[in-house]
A and B are shown apart, each in its own frame.
Chain A
Amino acid sequence: MTDQTQHSRPPMTRLLLVLVPLAVMLGAFVWIASLDPLRGFNNGAPPVEALTVERTILDGSGISLSVRAGGSEAMVVAQVAVDDAYWTFTQEPAGPIARGEAVWLRIPYPWVLGEAHHVNLLTNTGATFGHEIGVAVSTPSPTWGQLRLQAVIGAIVGLLPVALGLMFYPAMKGVGRSGMNFLLALTVGLLAFLLIDMTAEALELSGDAAAIFQGSAMVWLAALASFLLLMAIGRWRGNPEGIALAFYIALGIGLHNFGEGLAIGGAFAAGSAGLGTFLVLGFALHNVTEGIGIAAPMLRARPTLWIFAALTLLAGGPAVLGMWAGSLAYAPQWSALALAVGAGAILQVMVEVSAYLVRQNPDRQTALISPSVLAGFLGGIAFMYATAALIKI
């Protein structure tokens, strides 16, 4: 058997067999780099250049931009114009920006509160990269007062509605099978909305990220990986049910709320959202159903009070972390990654809650298209869609 002959090889030989192709590969790269056989392709075209602005900070010293280069070779930002006026700037670290590297450009420009500014980066080849500052407001700085304020908003958006939703638990406790089906389907429906919402959001954010992160591929693969990992962990010891399933739902919703926090924090930092009371209340109402969804699979179990506290913290707490991360360290690729992981987690709980729903019914398949299940599923989606109208600006 060939299998056996391969297994019988001593470890040193096998190591050698791995090292040989690696050495050849290295040698080939060195050869290509030194002899430059592609010289003939040099048609005089200027290098491909790409610059992505990842963060914008406005403060008393002017405008700071975190810029990532994605060109085919190191790039040089030669001049910076703000609102069609060349302006002094410093670059940290100085010098050509290597592919994939990010630098800070500090521009002592007297920006005007509440007005728009346009920054134009001019490279040594004359290519330009524009960056729009839609509404100039001072970027939040990580002071205690600021962090506390954001934590309060995060709590209102994340913790409060989950807690409120879980308070329906006693009322839900007594429902019969079709009521139970309705509630579980409602959960799947709202999760379906969140899945679509998060995926769209992640893809949109990834479009703003530097090409080197391969935004779209990163989002889909991160979502797939997180889905598979959570499925594997969840099924480690049989199908997740009851309290365990509730925790998985809380985790998925927590990741979603982290993304929501990122979005609010980021919008706050970018000055695009005044964060009115109406908007915050909209988020809270939008998220109340999340608590109901978490509670649904536990109706046959006997959860203690600390479990409710833990579920609330797991599902709602990340909104606070998201607020902080979004307003202080906003970069589109990381937000997209967080949202993608969340989307995978949401898909996992959708699968598990549906499986649980099917198992609850002896007539399995037909239960899926029963009136109560369909009403719950569509009702969940409809409720989420309607309340989302309050928070879209």
Chain B
Amino acid sequence: MPVDTSKRGRDVSSAVETSLPTAPPALVTEPVSASRRALLVGGLVAAGGAAVAASRAQSQATPDPMAGHAMPGGAVDPYSAHDSGVAHGNMTMVGQVDHARNGFDPTAMLTDWETGRTEVLPDGRTLRTFEVDAIDMEIEIAPGVFFPAWTFNGRVPGPALRAKEGERLRIIFRNLGSHPHSMHFHGIHSARMDGVQGAGLIDPGEEFVYEFDARPFGCHLYHCHALPLKRHMHKGMYGLFVVDPDPARHPEFAAVAASRVLGSPENAEWQELAMVMNGFDTNFDGENEVYAVNTVGQAYMNAPIRIDKSRPVRIYLMNATEFDPINSFHLHGNFFDYYDTGSQLTPTLRTVDVIMQCQAQRGILEFSFADHEDGLYMFHAHQAEFTELGWMGFFDVREAGA
């Protein structure tokens, strides 16, 4: 076999780089740690030189990573483009995430808007109240891979808060976690309500109420602003904060504005999806191991997002990826209009198929599959690395009810 000897200069050592996650101070749910108790005993017994350790270790009830996964047809030809029945070939994660154990389902999260409860103030304005708890929680971010997350309301990303321009907002925030946390809103508010040190950054067990007006309209976000910021953000403390425009305040674009008001007849025409691009540094080395939209890697490959082709699609997209400066969104077989930050009623970019967002940048994508053939249309980050590490999905485009 011809061997290119010029390549010999490369590192050929079989040394294994090891990096271990640092210990989280406390975990609320611990699928992994159930067997940690056995570790200490196992270690002690092994030190005694007894065979008890082996049988003990084997009896540990860890979930079978291969469960539910079968390789297609025994021997596979990795070089064949037709060998595998699935559209993503062999480039896929093995197994399925248990969404029920996580307590949140990526498919449900797409349309799960948190609207809180409303009451009318004496001056006629609407007061909208949200309740948000910070909770430590271990979540499964890829099949069989568990991440000690810090969450808002037990989900990553946190609840997608949705209000209407001009409303008075009241967010009752309780810290049930193990570290100080806050909610820092990207919006217009006073310094007292900013979610930084001395302005709503609270210790475990404490409560704080943020109050401000919902403005400006647009697709915004909130996140924990406790320090160190990187750690608090990439552990999962971020979420969408969408302020719908008030049509009465924008008479020249009243129809456009009305279509964005959740619950309006005009809005019912649209299929709205909440998407947060995120990543997880599972070994805490400052690089993400898993990329996703709405937390679970390849979730929308395994369960494509059903799109009724007769209705237009609007995506509220936010980039919460830590460590990588930018993330991107690419749609296959179609183009879209993009409203950066969603704070205008005319598109920032028209007819594009890739947009990029830096950290905390967000925007609204609008497109239609009305004239398309039925089929699976892919969407993913166009950084191929992110794509292949989990950030990819499918739109399953069909007629309604088909």
Contacts and interface: CB of A to CB of B under 8 A. Distances in A.
Interface of A: 25-26, 29-30, 32-33, 36, 38-39, 41-53, 56, 60-62, 72-74, 76-81, 84-91, 94-96, 98-100, 108-111, 114-116, 120, 122-132, 134-135, 137-138, 207-208, 267, 270-274, 276, 332, 393
A274 B9 CA distance: 12
Nearest to A114: B4
Interface in B357-402: 385, 388-390
B41 A108 contact: no
A84 B75 contact: no
Contacts of A111: 78
Given A84-B389, A124-B62, A46 B21 contact: yes
Nearest to A272: B12
Nearest to B83: A108
Given A125-B146, A132-B14, 14 more contacts: A29-B48, A36-B37, A46-B33, A50-B18, A62-B78, A76-B62, A79-B144, A81-B388, A85-B388, A87-B92, A89-B94, A126-B145, A128-B282, A274-B3
A231 to B, nearest CB: 29
Nearest to A86: B93
23 contacts: A33-B41, A36-B37, A39-B37, A44-B26, A44-B36, A45-B36, A47-B32, A47-B39, A52-B16, A62-B76, A72-B43, A79-B93, A79-B144, A80-B94, A96-B58, A122-B282, A124-B65, A126-B283, A127-B18, A127-B20, A130-B17, A131-B16, A270-B14
A276 B5 CA distance: 9
Given A95-B64, A393-B8, A72 B39 contact: yes
A36 B12 contact: no
B56 interface: yes
B297 interface: yes
B108 interface: no
Contacts of B26: 44
Chain A CB within 10 Å, residue with most, of B3, B36, B53, B62 = B3
B35 A73 contact: yes
B389 A127 contact: no
Nearest to B17: A130
A61 B62 contact: no
B331 to A, nearest CB: 21
B190 interface: no
Interface of B: 1, 3-5, 7-8, 10-21, 23-27, 32-33, 35-46, 48, 50, 52-54, 56-58, 60, 62-66, 69, 71, 75-79, 90-95, 142-147, 280, 282-283, 285, 289, 297-298, 385, 388-390
Contacts of B385: 84
A134 B13 CA distance: 7
Contacts of A115: 7
Given A47-B36, A79-B93, A126-B289, A91 B66 contact: yes
A36 B36 CA distance: 11
A113 B21 CA distance: 34
A73 B42 contact: yes
A59 B282 CA distance: 31
B40 A41 contact: yes
A228 B52 CA distance: 34
Given A85-B91, A126-B289, A98 B283 contact: no
A125 B282 CA distance: 8
B324 to A, nearest CB: 12
Given A44-B25, A126-B145, A53 B14 contact: yes
Contacts of B297: 86
A46 B90 contact: no
Given A56-B14, A62-B78, A72-B39, A33 B289 contact: no
Contact of B65 (A77, A114, A137): A77
Contact of B32 (A110, A124, A129, A131): A124
Given A42-B40, A78-B145, A86-B92, A127 B283 contact: yes
Nearest to B31: A124
